[in-house]
């Protein structure tokens, strides 16, 4: 007979994680991505080539995004390892697999 040993907190986390789909983003990343996608209407995306984009907000501020190197001028993508709103704006039109 297997008896669970550990704190109730770890038990709840283990059960919560067991419900995740194997090929899906973790819930926090999904929520973050949903939030960023709601902001896309505030940006204008202009492609320079297949990997390089300029993303401009309605105040005239612009950022250069390099999709190939996973870099944005705001540096959030490089620092967090998760695409910033500017990168998501560029990627959204491509309908990417967000797991990649």
Residues 6+ apart with CB under 8 A from 64: 52, 53, 54, 55, 72, 73
Exposed / middle / buried, residue 69 (Cβ in 10 Å: 0-12, 13-18, 19+) = exposed
Task: Give the x-and-dash track for 34-73 against Zn ion (CB under 5 A).
Answer: --------------------------------------x-
| Cβ nearer to Zn ion, comparing 15 with 66 | 66
Query: Closest distance between Zn ion and the C-beta of residue 72, in Å?
Result: 3
Query: Closest distance between Zn ion and the C-beta of residue 27, in Å?
Result: 23
Does 84 contact Zn ion by CB under 5 A?
yes
**In 3-state terms, what secondary structure has residue 78?**
helix
> Which residues contribute to the site for Zn ion (CB under 5 A)?
72, 74, 84, 86
């Amino acid at each position: 007979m297997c008896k669970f040993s550990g704190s109730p907190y770890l038990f709840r986390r283990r059960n919560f994680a067991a419900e995740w789909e194997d090929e899906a983003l973790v819930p926090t990343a999904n929520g973050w991505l949903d939030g960023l996608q709601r902001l896309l209407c505030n940006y204008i995306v202009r492609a320079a080539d297949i990997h390089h984009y300029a993303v401009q907000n309605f105040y005239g501020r612009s950022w250069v995004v390099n999709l190939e190197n996973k870099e944005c001028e705001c540096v959030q993508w490089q620092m967090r390892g998760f695409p910033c709103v500017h990168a998501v704006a560029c990627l959204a039109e491509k309908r990417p697999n967000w797991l990649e």
